[in-house]
Structure formats: structure tokens, C-alpha cells
Amino acid sequence: MGKTICVSNRKGGVGKTMTAVSLGIGLARSGASVLLIDADPQHSLTISLGVKNPDKLSDTLSTIMDAILQETEIHPISGIIHNIEGVDLLPANNSLSGMELTLVPVIGRETVIQQYIELVKDRYDYVIFDTSPSLGLLTVNALAASDYVMIPVTAKYLDAKGLELLLKTISQVRRLFNPNLSVGGILLTMVDSRMKYTHEIIALIERAYGDNIRIFDERIPRSVRAAETSAAGQSIFSYDPHGKVAAAYAMLSEEVLRIA
């Protein structure tokens, strides 16, 4: 059975999608089999992996979830797209935005995605979720289906303070739906090591959480080239293979392999 990682933060703009893509492909480059799941209605992960017209896709995460709700049979590889960089993708499109409303009256609404993961988990070494910048039902579903949560955080005061609510939600999901869920670690992203303020915020995070939660050794530096990868539909490994961000995510992938 593979390990499932949920990349999550209720704050937007912290590098969740970049981290999901880069970690997934970094693990694949080390020989692991990886499935990336786009659990964000904005489908940024799908676009970042080069899918040009997501709304034309017939099978996505929302159709899989609908099949589970309708109790119809699901083929384990239905909707999965193989990416040229060595990972598989279960994409999303605009139809996922209506799924959260569909889930509201459903009994067991928090564990729909968990049922899908049970079908595919033994096919992969790692399953990685990209989630929306909210703590809605889709994110709760991803948390309920995961073994670990990776929390990307930028070195900004409000981002550091916002960790408290996410950690409370993780604790609630662990208690109610998924006793095996744990915090894999906090990942510092978009780090500008030249700024004194950056070091102050990192020290704040380490003091507040470092005794109880792993803070990954690798820090992802700020880079204009990294910000361009989504529009290019490529990972940082193919778009800027010799850059500092590619090197950082390669080291992060090795760190995750060691932890696992």
C-alpha cells in the first residue's frame, strides 16, 4: 500500500500546487510510482501539468466522486492521465466546484474520496493531493483519505499565524474520520534569505511549532522562473532544470523518501 500525502494550507499563494507537482515528479524521478490528484475546483494542478482544456475531459475527480455517490462501479484507472514527466494525474475541472454542494446532504460526505483511494492506493508508491485554499468538504475529504499532511508556508507573519486553524482541522479530521492522519511537516516556500524579516518569521515558526511538528530541512527559494511554470504547463524540473528551485525540490523529494 502506498503513502498518501495531502498538500494543504487554508492560505492561498503559498506554493501548494507547485509543491504537489514538484514533489510528485521529484519522487517519480527517484523511481517511485506517483498519482497526483487535483482536489481544487480551480484545477491549477491540472493546468500546471499541461492539460489545455480541462472542461472537455469526460472523466475527472468530480465524475469519480459522483460514481461513488451513485454506487456505480469504478474502474481504478478511469480518468487517469499519464504525464510525460513520469507521474499519473487524476484531473479536475469546473465541475468540481458543484461537488461540494452535492456533498452537503450526503451521509458519510467526508469520506467519499477515501473510498476511491482504497481502489488505487496499492497501484502507487505515493498518492499526492493538491487542495484548495479553504477548509471545505473537498479538503476535508482529501485529509480523511491521507496518511500525511504537508503544509507549505511562506515566511510571512499572517501565514505563520494561519497555521493554527489548519492544525485544529487536522486534529478534528484525525479524531472523527482518519485516526492514522499525521502532520508530515511544514515546508517553508518562497524564501528570500537576503531579508532579515524572513529569518525572523522562520524563527517564529520554529519556536511555535518546531518541538511538535517536523519542519523540513529543505527550504524552497523564491524564484521568478518558478512562477512561470504553471502557464508553461511544465514542472520546474523541465522548465528550469538547473535552477535553485529544481534543486530544492529534488532535495525535498529525497528528504520525503528518507522519512517514509
Q: Report the pLDDT value the prediction gives residue 11, as an integer from 0 to 100.
A: 87
Q: Report the pLDDT value the prediction gives residue 194, as an integer from 0 to 100.
A: 86
**pLDDT band, residue 124 (cuts 50/70/90):** very high
pLDDT tens digits for range 208-258: 899 999 999 999 999 988 889 988 899 999 999 999 999 999 999 999 999
For cell 492560505, the residue is: 11
Nearest of 215, 216, 202, 218 to residue 250 by alpha carbon:
218
Q: Is the pLDDT of residue 57 over 90?
A: yes
The residues near 19 (Cβ < 8 Å, ≥ 6 apart) are 7, 150, 152, 187, 189, 220, 249
Q: Is the pLDDT of residue 37 over 80?
A: yes
Q: Report the pLDDT value the prediction gives residue 139, as an integer from 0 to 100.
A: 96
- At 11 the three-state DSSP class reads coil
Q: What's the total number of domains in the chain?
A: 1
Q: Provide the residue range defining the domain that includes 87.
A: 3-259
Q: Diameter of the chain by CA atoms?
A: 56
Q: Is the pLDDT of residue 1 over 70?
A: no
**pLDDT band, residue 126 (cuts 50/70/90):** very high
CATH code: domain of residue 81 = 3.40.50.300
pLDDT tens digits for range 145-163: 999 999 999 988 767 777 8
Arithmetic mean of pLDDT, 109-138: 95
pLDDT tens digits for range 61-114: 999 999 999 999 988 889 999 999 999 999 999 999 999 899 999 999 999 999
**What does the H/E/C string look like for 45-113?**
HHHHCCCCCHHHCCCCHHHHHHHHHCCCCCCCCCCCEECCCCCEEECCCCCHHHHHHHHCCCCCHHHHH
Q: Report the pLDDT value the prediction gives residue 235, as an integer from 0 to 100.
A: 94
Contact 133, 152 (CB under 8 A): no
Mean pLDDT for the chain overall: 93
